[in-house]
Structure 1
Amino acid sequence: MILEKLTVGTFQENCYILGDEASGTGVLVDPGDEAVRIALAVEQTGLEIEKILLTHAHIDHVGAVAALIDEYGCPVLAHRESEQLLEQLPTQALMMGLRFGKVPELDGYIEDEEELEVGNLTLRALYTPGHAPGHLAFYLESEGVLLSGDALFAGSVGRTDLPGGDAGQLMRSIRERLLVLPDTTVVHPGHGPQTTIGNERSYNPFLQQGGGIL
């Protein structure tokens, strides 16, 4: 397996290049900014990008999507509920004093528990809303890897004060969909460093009794 992280843009978002060395096929997960830098990193891996996967459609996770569609001619996939956020990207940008260019469209929807093949790798989509409508995490059981998007971070959880956020829903998503994974599962989040499920179960203050939430 090839798994490379690029931390991009003003919001320091983690974009992931994930691929299967045997077949030479790969995907991009959450290309948030710096399309040229992402494309150069893909070139170094030698992978052929066959699709772009989105954990959710906040502006910091999709900023480079349109440019990379032009580069690779590949489909963009996300949960159906993410479509409303994509349509609101210009508004998201204005709220942050930014401007947004071309709004990408989804070419297909990813359902909860759907299995996505990347060469010989299998990603299982886990519906984990709360931070954003339609939020997904991607679990590679064979590799013990979870791409958690903005649901779960090292020592923290996703904020819920943006439109469509729901604190109670987020905590249910984390406890019922993510913390049930093996403790050794390596978590690669949408921001910040990697961690493990076991470490977050034991030490994340937001997951302890009485823990608060953003």
Structure 2
Amino acid sequence: MHVIIEPVTAFAQNCSLLICEQSAQAVMIDPGGDPQQLIALTTKQGCKVVKIILTHGHLDHVGAAKELAEYFQVDIIGPHHDDQFWLDALPQQAQMFGFNAAEPFLPTSWLVHQQRVHFGEQELEVRHCPGHTPGHVVLISHQDKFVIAGDVLFKGSIGRTDFPKGNQAQLVSSIKQQLFDLPDGYVVYPGHGPITTIGDEKRHNPFLSGRFG
């Protein structure tokens, strides 16, 4: 699988384009904004977007989802249903974060824990990882040994938990139960910032080693 990370929005949110090299089918994960930039990326790659997937309901991760779903004529899937309140509150989020006006929308379907998402010859495992938001999910490719982590886990840090319904203890528990059972070599593609690995975060992340957590 070919993984392309394209930062979008003023928050440098990492939109992920996953391309099945055998079929050229692709999924776009967390298109938070800059839709024309993302359309140009898919044109350059010569791939066919067949799904848009959302890890959670924050505006910098979902802001261009509806427009791109209409452009590509595809479904939006995810996040977990517990993040519906964030999607319902998109107008308020736009005001809070200084984004252009955003309208509420619902995905075509919600994601659930241990669901499998398929495209081309690829499979992604869904794991529910609440804490940053109650409905946050991560997506794992066991074939290619990587995690699309959204705002759950970062290089040397973890997601914020000071938003409504955030919970730091729950987030730490989600990481340790749902991510740290993966082999150390799995690559982590976070929602912001540089990539890391499960092993590096087990060993060095101060929020998960007891120094801050």
**What is aligned with 1:136?**
137
Q: Which amino acid aligns with 2:96?
A: M
Alignment pair present for 1:157 and 2:177? no
Alignment pair present for 1:8 and 2:8? yes
The residue correspondences of 1:161-176 to structure 2 (distance < 5 A) are: 161-176=162-177
Shift of 1:101: 2.7
Q: Is the 8 A contact 2:25 2:48 kept in 1?
A: yes
Q: Which moves more between the two structures, 181-190 or 96-105?
A: 96-105
Q: CA RMSD in A?
A: 1.1
Shift of 1:177: 0.4
Q: Is the 8 A contact 2:90 2:103 kept in 1?
A: no
TM-score by length of 2: 0.96
Mapped partners of 2:112, 2:98: distance in 1:
33
Shift of 1:191: 0.3
**What is aligned with 1:39?**
39
Alignment pair present for 1:62 and 2:65? no
Unaligned runs of 5+ in 1: none
Q: Which moves more between the two structures, 169-178 or 93-102?
A: 93-102
**What is aligned with 2:182?**
181
Q: Deviations over 1:63-89 (max 9, x none)?
A: 111220121011001111122210011
Shift of 1:44: 1.4
**What is aligned with 2:49?**
49
Shift of 1:95: 2.0
SS in 2 for 1:37: helix
SS in 1 for 2:51: strand
Shift of 1:23: 1.3
Mapped partners of 2:127, 2:84: distance in 1:
17
Shift of 1:110: 1.1
Shift of 1:145: 0.7
Matched residues, number:
212
Regions of 4+ moved over 4 Å? none
Q: Deviations over 1:93-148 (max 9, x none)?
A: 22234442333321011110001111111100010010012100000001011001
SS in 2 for 1:102: coil
Q: Which moves more between the two structures, 60-69 or 123-132?
A: 60-69
Q: Which amino acid aligns with 2:196?
A: T
Unaligned runs of 5+ in 2: none
Alignment pair present for 1:208 and 2:209? yes
Q: Is the 8 A contact 1:65 1:104 kept in 2?
A: no
Q: Deviations over 1:135-185 (max 9, x none)?
A: 000000010110011000000000000112111110110000001100000
SS in 2 for 1:172: helix
Mapped partners of 2:69, 2:145: distance in 1:
29
Alignment pair present for 1:77 and 2:77? yes
Mapped partners of 1:96, 1:23: distance in 2:
38
Mapped partners of 2:44, 2:99: distance in 1:
31
Mapped partners of 2:98, 2:111: distance in 1:
31
